[in-house]
Each structure stands twice: as structure tokens, then as C-alpha cells.
Structure 1
């Protein structure tokens, strides 16, 4: 008896088939090659049709291997939006969470995101769906026939089930912006105040709500946010654990039973009760990708494109962490800005004649990623940090990079335990299908005791 979880990521799409009776998993991952080059450096868009076709391809591969599939859960990249028409068809690209139109200047040197923040009281950043939508309204970019907007995960559920209208849950609705997390609803009055037609917003339902059948017989459940799905798929004891995930971006998450509002951390709904406080950095593993490209270009420049280049992550994992740690370069990894300071830039300092080496530069980048997460950790209320003594690490950067794990442990002075599955968000989505189908009663039991 298998449950499928799909994670629609920015750079890859992963499927997990979880055998509920034998507690085993099988995974399929494909590169997300849906990016569309619009010629505008600030625009980050992907092809939703390509994404849905890839999701179906993964499901069909699992169908060919397993006779009994009892449910499908979906998760994926939060904040971004797709516009759909009355027939439930996409009439736009996916404007991803990395889209930078919200940082364009609206008037008087104020960005679109800053204008909305100042006129709503909500912390809003570029890439948030309603910020993107507001820009599109002001610049006459709403596609013809658009009647609703939704996340890419909600759209995938629509195409799997034949739904004509999107159904989102609280976790994804909150990622669009203008969402009252404490009351679990969009702030319609604030949206009215900025002149936005709220009829375009998706319907909100409980997490993992039954949404229809795929192929006439496999139940499909409403999507949940990938931050929450990753937490569900990784953490076994939410009272003692802090979740750190490092993929393209990076996030630090801690569970709170009670609603807490902070300037330094996002308060996000947790499926079926409670919240997670989240520190989100825009450039986590992407910092290492950037450094990798720098070294490859340097090698090409000096070597004339000849010769074989060693694997970057093999080099990382062979660096002597202790040897270089006391004379480290100070790297601020704000290469894509931050949520609160979008125009912030990265930097490299503390350079001396003895430490400006490739090894120390690599270590400095890794330390910079960890420091940004540790800064978030330091702002967590003491009562929530009190019993925390374990970092649960997930994401491709942590999976591939033992140096990153060692530096995380040194930075936090906590033991790091890697997620038990290679694709924790997809696994979390499969658990959502279990809950949606009432095979288990709630996420809390999964988090505390495992499945």
C-alpha cells in the first residue's frame, strides 16, 4: 500500500512512493527544466505545463511499479503564482518566488513590495504572489481570461483531478501575502484598501483536503507548503528539534504551539494546528553554486577549456575544517539580498596575505551560510529554545556536503542529524496524503513518533 508525495522544487521535481505497511520509500527525481528566458533579468518564470507533465510522468512510473496506490500528496515552491481561466487552464507562466518585479520602483523611490508593506502592516517581499499580482495590475500584465491565481502545487492538483477552480490550504495561502495567520484568512479589507479585486484569490480549505481523483481511482489531496512539508518529512521530535534546510535558499524553522509574532522571523501556519517560526535566507545553497561557477570559469580562463575539472563537492568534503577555521574569511552571503533588505549585497572581508586561498574562501562561504541561519536562531524566544538540542538537517546542499554539516555543528554547538529520507518535502507530502485519507489521525503523531 503506497502513498505518493510530489515536491515541485525550483531546480528539481521529486516523487516519493512511501510503503505505509513496510515503512520503505522509493524516489524519482528529475531536473526542473521549465525555466523561460523572457529577456528580462528581473523576471523569473517557469512553464507550468512542462511542470505538470513532469509530475504526471513521475506518477506513471510509480503506477507501473506498484499495484496499490492509496493517495497522492503535493508540495512545492511557495509564494509563486499561476493565473488560470474559467476552464482551469493556465493562462500565464509560473511567476516564481525568485521573481524580482516586487523590487522594481513604483514611485518616489519606493518599491512595489515596500509600498504594500507600508500600506498594509504585513511584511511583504518580492516573489510573494500578491506582490507579483499587484505589479502585474499596475503594469497591465494580467493575462486575458485570468479569473483566479494559485500556487504551482494547487495548479498541479487541478490538472491531476480535473478541478476547474483552485483549492489552496492555509500554508500556501499565507505564502501569497496579506494573510492573517492568527485568524487563518486573507485580509480582504487591506486588499480592498489598495484597490485589489479579491475575487481572484483561491478558495482556502484545510491542509490535505480531498480534492478529487487522479485516473478515476487514486485520491489526490490539496497541496501544502514545502517549508511545512520538509519539517513534517524530517523532524521526529518537534519539542527538541530545530529544522534547517539548505537547498537553493535556506531556512531555519522551529515549531510553536502558540501564535508568536516577530519582526525577525516569519510566523507560518502549520498543517492542522500550531505554527512554525521561520528564518528564510534567499541565497543558501545557491551561494555554493555561485562559487562553483566562479572556480570553473577561472579554470577555463587559465586552462583554455582543456582538462577535466574535479567535482566541486568532492573538493569541499576534503577540506581540513580545523586547519583553516581560526583564520577564516568573513563572507556575508546576501548575494540575492534579504527579505527585509532586498538591496543588500554580499561581501568578503577579513582578507589577509595568509588566508586568501581557495580552501579558506570555500570555508568562508560555508560559514557565511551557517552564520545567516544562526542569526535567525538567536532571535528565537528563549522559551522555545529551552529544550532544543538537535539540528535536523535536510536539503540537497546538506545531503551532498559533509563540510557544511561540520560547520553547522561548530556554529550552533548542536549535533546535526540528517533527514532519514533523501527528499524530505516529498516524503512530507506523502504523509499529508496519509492524514488526508485518515490512515493516521494527525501530523503530530508522525512528527513525534515517526510513521
Structure 2
């Protein structure tokens, strides 16, 4: 995206937003500057690094006609991070919400204000990190993010396994959409009862950034129980959500503390994997019951109807729309 900005504006020097610079690593977004001391010690060619700037800065103007849409002379902003753009759209009207995004991968995000963010290596818990977000009235805002490598990609792999098994045994070709449709019809029959507790799934098929050796496991205890494919997919969906929540202890404690104090917690769910999937939505309710199992207050069995847990599913939370709003509403700097 930074190359594309340079191409549109025919720039000689490459600008990069602090969003994207942070994603490259070896960058301190609080200063903001590259970690030149570390990079020089490693004999990295620091003269090749782009110049980090704030995410709402105009870096040039288009220099040529591009198709019939883009004309010369149109201001171009520095490229910003897609996660930050999407979170700006999600948090614009709900700055105190916890955002659960499930697309190909998954993330839990919270907006936070702190004087200075610690380096990743200094965090006691490596499953989350602070991402630079924006400067709001001279206050630096950051996103506390737990980024999981496991989301819709795990479900896609499992549905592919079911698809190939059916093909092998029956020579019937079912599309993923047809398989999901059959699963959806089983929702009324699936309950979070004791009969489901003999299935245990660790859903980290692709490992995690903080634990690359993590693997995908399925454990089924012996006895009379014979698990159905519906119980297994139900358990998988629950554990995918539980996994990403476990990566963000701050969010877990916030939910429990708010519940104990009778304060509402807003949870925004974005991404097609959860916003359009009733099994995943039901799984989130199960995870909420687990999280609140040790909290005092309302009956945890009524999480869906409790006014203290406000879960909203956002069907459209596109990064491109968030990017446009970010630069328009965050102010313009030349």
C-alpha cells in the first residue's frame, strides 16, 4: 500500500504511517521512530527505511489520470493499517466496547489511553500487544490487541475435511454452503449440556504468534457417548472464541469486574464468520457464561437476556469505509 501511494504521487521518498511501521517491528510508536540502536547493531541498512509519519497526513497529490475515476491533483493520505481502519469504524460510536473480529483470523481489541506503551519484549503476557491508533486532542490512543492466527481458516479446514469425507464415502459432492446449511438446521437440537463435556478441542490449527508450537487436538473420552459431527463442530466453534478471549486477560477481567459492579459491557462482533453464523453467535453466549461463572450478580444462565452483556453483531465493518472516516474525522494535516 505504501508503494501504491508513492506510485500515485510519484514520490521520491517513501512515507509510512506509524500503523504500518509498527507492523514491520523494530519501531517505537510513542516517539515515533525506528529502533535505530537495535537495527544499527545488527548492521541493518537503516537508510533504506521509509519515514514514519502520523496516519492522517496528506503526503502528496495524484500526478496522472488513472482510468476515468482518479484525476490529477487529488490529495493522497499516507496508507494506514487495515485493522486500525476497521476498528475506527467499529469503535466510532462505542469507544468503550470490546471488539471481537472473526474473519480468516481473529482478533480481540480494546481502545486504551496510556502515557507510553511498553515494548513487546517487556510484556509479561506475549499473547497481546499495543497497536498505535491515533492522536486525539494531543492524547495518544492505542489499541490493545490479541491477534489470533485461528479463526475462519480453522472452520474452513474442518468443513473441507467433512466435504472430502462425504465425497470419499458416498461419492456425493456437497459444497461448503450446503454443509453449513445442514449444520444450521441442527442448532435447536444442540445444547450446552453435560453430554457435550466429553469432547475437548484445542483449535490452534495454525499455532499462535506467541506459541508457534501449539497444535490442533481433539480428545473424546470413552464411555457410552458417541459424539455426533454436530457436537464436534459446536465444540470447535466454542473453543475458537474461547481461545481468542484467553489471549486477552484484560478483556476477561473487565467483563467480570463490570458484571460484579452491575455495569454494562458492550461487545461488538465483526467479520462475516461470526456476524452471519448462528452457531458462532450461540457459541459466544456459551463463552460468556464461562467467563462469568465466578462472577457475582445476575444469573449467568441468562447472559443472552442480561442488560449487562450487550452483544451486537455488525454485518458490515469494512476497512475501506473505516479508512475514509479515519482521515475525514481525525483531521487533515499537510
Band of TM-score, shorter chain: 0.7 to 0.9
User: What are the residue-to-residue correspondences of 1:185-196 with 2, within 5 Å?
Assistant: 185-196=33-44
Q: Secondary structure at the match of 1:271?
A: strand
Q: 1:357 aligns with which of 222, 228, 234?
A: 228
CA distance in 2: counterparts of 1:437 and 1:257, whole angstroms: 19
CA distance in 2: counterparts of 1:388 and 1:158, whole angstroms: 45
Q: Which residue in 1 is equivalent to 2:131?
A: 268
Q: 1:240 to 1:388 in 2, by over 3 A?
A: farther
User: What are the residue-to-residue correspondences of 1:69-108 with 2, within 5 Å?
Assistant: none
Conserved 8 A contact 1:405-1:416: no
1:415 aligns with 2:310: yes
Q: 1:309 to 1:255 in 2, by over 3 A?
A: closer
Unaligned runs of 5+ in 1: 1-152, 442-451
Q: Which residue in 1 is equivalent to 2:190?
A: 323
Report the alpha carbon displacement of residue 241 of structure 1 after superposing the two structures with TM.
0.5
Give the length in aligned residue pairs.
286
Q: Which residue in 2 is equivalent to 1:303?
A: 170
Report the alpha carbon displacement of residue 408 of structure 1 after superposing the two structures with TM.
1.4
CA distance in 2: counterparts of 1:203 and 1:372, whole angstroms: 37
1:204 aligns with 2:99: no
Q: 1:391 to 1:192 in 2, by over 3 A?
A: same
Q: 1:171 to 1:355 in 2, by over 3 A?
A: farther
Q: 1:425 aligns with which of 308, 312, 319?
A: 319
Q: 1:306 to 1:293 in 2, by over 3 A?
A: closer
Q: Secondary structure at the match of 2:247?
A: helix
Q: Secondary structure at the match of 1:277?
A: strand
User: What are the residue-to-residue correspondences of 1:30-49 with 2, within 5 Å?
Assistant: none
Q: 1:361 to 1:201 in 2, by over 3 A?
A: same
1:347 aligns with 2:210: no
Q: Which residue in 1 is equivalent to 2:159?
A: 292
Q: Secondary structure at the match of 2:248?
A: helix
Q: 1:252 aligns with which of 93, 97, 108?
A: 108
| Larger deviation, residues 390-399 vs 216-225 | 216-225
Q: Which residue in 1 is equivalent to 2:242?
A: 371
Conserved 8 A contact 1:332-1:347: yes
TM norm structure 1: 0.58
User: What are the residue-to-residue correspondences of 1:24-63 with 2, within 5 Å?
Assistant: none
CA distance in 1: counterparts of 2:189 and 2:286, whole angstroms: 10
CA distance in 1: counterparts of 2:172 and 2:188, whole angstroms: 30
User: What are the residue-to-residue correspondences of 1:102-117 with 2, within 5 Å?
Assistant: none
Conserved 8 A contact 2:97-2:110: yes
Report the alpha carbon displacement of residue 301 of structure 1 after superposing the two structures with TM.
0.8
Report the alpha carbon displacement of residue 161 of structure 1 after superposing the two structures with TM.
2.9
Q: Secondary structure at the match of 1:410?
A: helix
Q: 1:322 to 1:180 in 2, by over 3 A?
A: farther
Unaligned runs of 5+ in 2: 63-70, 290-308
Q: Which residue in 1 is equivalent to 2:277?
A: 401
CA distance in 2: counterparts of 1:410 and 1:307, whole angstroms: 29
Conserved 8 A contact 1:313-1:400: no
Report the alpha carbon displacement of residue 381 of structure 1 after superposing the two structures with TM.
8.6
Q: 1:306 to 1:391 in 2, by over 3 A?
A: closer
Q: Secondary structure at the match of 1:279?
A: strand
Conserved 8 A contact 2:203-2:236: yes
